[in-house]
Amino acid sequence: MTEWDHIIKNGKIATSENCYAGDIYIKDGKIAAVTSEELPGEAEQITDASGCYVLPGLMDTHIHSRDPGSTYKEDFYHSTLAAASGGITLVFEMPNTNPPVNNVENLHNQIQNLSKKANVDFGVWGICLGDLNLSSIQPLYEAGVIGFKFFWGYAIKRDTYELVYNYTPEMKDIIPPLNDGEVYKMFREVSKTGKILAIHAENNELIHQLSDEIQKEGRKDYEALVEGRPDLAELTTIQTGIAFAKHTGARLHVLHITSAEGVDAVKDAQEKGESITCETCPHFLFLNADDYEDIGPMMKVYPPVKYKDDQDTLWDRITDGTISIVCSDHAPHTEEEKSGDLWSIPAGMCGVETTVPLMLNAVNEGKITIQQLVSLLSTNPAKQFDIYPEKGSLQIGTDADLTIVDLNQPFEIKKENLHSKSKVTAFDGFRGKGKPVATIVHGKTIMHHGEIVNEHQGKWIKPSNNSLRTN
């Protein structure tokens, strides 16, 4: 009789297209059968998913684990522990580490570094630094980066290639933000690979001008921060990116989109047939500027959380499919670093552990369906980043990565319970309904009812070189 490694029984299976009752049979880390009929054979492990939904493994395409670099804030072991605790089976690590993922040697070193610590599967982004690494774009593509990221408007330290977040011209040993000619060349080079070019969309010159004017007035309120990094800073960068992508053929992806104007520019481009996608994050969906009075500095991120109208439009663009991915932009800092003047404290918070419960709560509130959640957190990113159907599906023969969720289970986010090294979150005390109750990677249960039961099960994922377009 057939011996199964793992059977998930009695659950309601949810994909991006439909829901149905069925059992999933796993052998050698792969999905061997999905059926409503009981198959013969014993299993090493049986998971009873009664009353729960069984989803293709959920993923977070945008995390910063500070590893290597500022590992006193976070490291990959803890970020992937947090991911598994939050129902995430796959993460994409951002490339602005120290050293950055700017060439093949650094990519190989990073894969080796992360593989020793990975509690879930992972992909690795490559960074675009203009002329500094233009010749490394094709080799990075061939070596297996998940995509390319460009921090538009950010300066670069000359010795380490670290990013400089609040550049001013008087800074020493700094390479200024790239001009449009250099950026265009970068778009053209990445377009040759067929991979996504993802942009942090903020106009540095506009931000510098406006923020300088506002700070001279002595203002330190949250409204001042948003006025210094307004919708216009995002919109102008997105518009330039759309134009460059149209002329070079690059697959443009706008990261952590925040504004109604920005996302509507993406919608307009998509309707014209342009190859552009975008993502947003839970802090932009569940928070707006009015919440700062209660939450305080823990809410500071770049681009900043904006207004209620922006928040409402983001939900509308999720509904109509303009926004295809929701991810965390997990970027921990210590509580000490987040204490102080709003202008000087760093931007970023933990998020990889809280994204899934927040989005499940949105399902319960009727903002999205469970199928839409699967699309946003699994199927769409898998297709866009060329790892479908191995990830993001429940097809026979693909990786047995599953997230089991209970929509009826209440939760309260408590910062002290987070698995990240740092505990900074804007959602401390948030209560909702809907929890991940099991995280399964390659058929092995990593998290079960909030407890980590297996560690170091993650593997590096190399994308296909046959790009799957989703628009």
The pLDDT value recorded for residue 466 is: 59
Q: According to the model, what pLDDT value does residue 469 have?
A: 37
The model's pLDDT over 376-417, given as tens digits with 9 standing for 90+, comes to: 999 999 999 999 999 999 999 999 999 999 999 999 999 999
pLDDT of amino acid 217? 96
At 454, list the tokens: 């297996």
Question: What digits encode the pLDDT tens for the residues 318-348?
Answer: 999 999 999 999 999 999 999 989 999 999 9
Mean per-residue pLDDT, 272-284: 97
Answer whether 359's CB lies under 8 Å from 282's CB: yes
Whether the pLDDT of residue 45 is over 70: the answer is: yes
Q: What is the pLDDT of residue 363?
A: 98
Residue 465 has pLDDT above 90, yes or no: no
**What pLDDT is stored for residue 1 in this prediction?**
64
Contact (CB, 8 A) for 123 and 80 = no
Give the model's confidence band at 470: pLDDT under 50 very low, under 70 low, under 90 confident, else very high: very low
- Per-residue confidence band for 40, with pLDDT thresholds at 50, 70 and 90: very high
Phi-psi region of 244 (alpha: psi -120 to 50; beta: other; left: phi over 0): alpha
Judged against a pLDDT cut of 90, whether residue 2 lies above it is answered with no
What CATH homologous superfamily does 58-384 map to? Metal-dependent hydrolases (3.20.20.140)
Q: Which residues of 425-439 are buried (b: 16+ CB within 10 A; e: fewer)?
A: bbbbebebbbbbbbb
Q: What percent of the chain has pLDDT over 90?
A: 93
Query: Regarding beta strands 402-412 and 431-441, do their DSSP bridges make them parallel or antiparallel, or are they unpaired?
Result: antiparallel
- The mean pLDDT value of the chain amounts to 96
Q: Each residue of 230-266: pLDDT tens digit?
A: 999 999 999 999 999 999 999 999 999 999 999 999 9
Question: Quick one: pLDDT band at residue 351, thresholds 50, 70, 90?
Answer: very high
pLDDT above 90 for 372? yes
pLDDT surpasses 90 at 163: no
Mean pLDDT of all residues in 300-308? 97
Residue ranges of the chain that CATH labels 3.20.20.140: 58-384
Q: What is the pLDDT of residue 218?
A: 95
Confidence of residue 444 (pLDDT cuts 50, 70, 90): very high
What is the structure's pLDDT at 165? 75
pLDDT of residue 364 exceeding 70, the answer is yes
pLDDT at residue 169, rounded to an integer = 83
Confidence of residue 471 (pLDDT cuts 50, 70, 90): very low
Mean pLDDT computed over 8-31: 98
Cα–Cα dist 260/240, whole Å = 17
Architecture per CATH, 4-53+398-411+428-452: Roll (2.30)
Q: Which of 5, 56, 116 is nearest to 457 (CA)?
A: 116
